[in-house]
Chain A
Amino acid sequence: KNQVEQSPQSLIILEGKNCTLQCNYTVSPFSNLRWYKQDTGRGPVSLTIMTFSENTKSNGRYTATLDADTKQSSLHITASQLSDSASYICVVSDRGSTLGRLYFGRGTQLTVWP
């Protein structure tokens, strides 16, 4: 069964600190992995997209890594800001269908305190 597991479920850090969120998946055949940021009550916004051949992708203070061999990804947030408080969702796409089916994790709820 294709699955996406994220950890931790929730995380509290102080403003200015760094943090790393984890994503493990079993989706096969793998196409790409995306990280989304979802503010409370809003729709998800894309942060990064990585295909099989990419190991790392940065978007400002966000850096995502991918190890397709171990089927693990991480999202590292540097120098956190209050506005980083949100749910971070890992999404994995397969290439076994025309749709490119998306498998969503439940997200890591990040809270940044001043």
Chain B
Amino acid sequence: EADIYQTPRYLVIGTGKKITLECSQTMGHDKMYWYQQDPGMELHLIHYSYGVNSTEKGDLSSESTVSRIRTEHFPLTLESARPSHTSQYLCASSESRGARNTIYFGEGSWLTVV
């Protein structure tokens, strides 16, 4: 059972609003990730972190930002939401070492911008 939690699970907000999606894991993992997934499509990496104070942009251009002040916490922020940001956002974490390290995903946050 994965100990990685995302809040909120579902959110509907208006255009231009600021939103922060929360992600926490209690497994002590150094690596954390944010993915974006549209229905029926593959996951796209938008941000990742190797550890505290380490954040990098992923493959998919995103107007969101992330922070990693604590090992267990990796929030994602949209300063000004737009309808194009409507999607599912998945947070994940994994251990640093080993090619066989399991990547654990949260349950996802469904964001709808109207």
Chain A residues with a Cβ under 8 A of chain B? 4, 31-32, 34, 36, 41-46, 49, 51, 89, 93, 95, 98-102, 104-107, 109
Contacts and interface: CB of A to CB of B under 8 A. Distances in A.
B99 A95 contact: yes
B41 interface: yes
Interface of B: 2, 6, 40-45, 48, 50, 90, 92, 99-100, 102-108, 110
Given A101-B45, A102-B103, 4 more contacts: A34-B103, A42-B107, A43-B107, A44-B90
Contacts, number: 51
A43 B34 CA distance: 12
A43 B100 contact: no
B99 A51 contact: yes
A10 to B, nearest CB: 9
Nearest to B43: A104
A51 B106 CA distance: 24
B12 to A, nearest CB: 15
Contacts of B6: 43
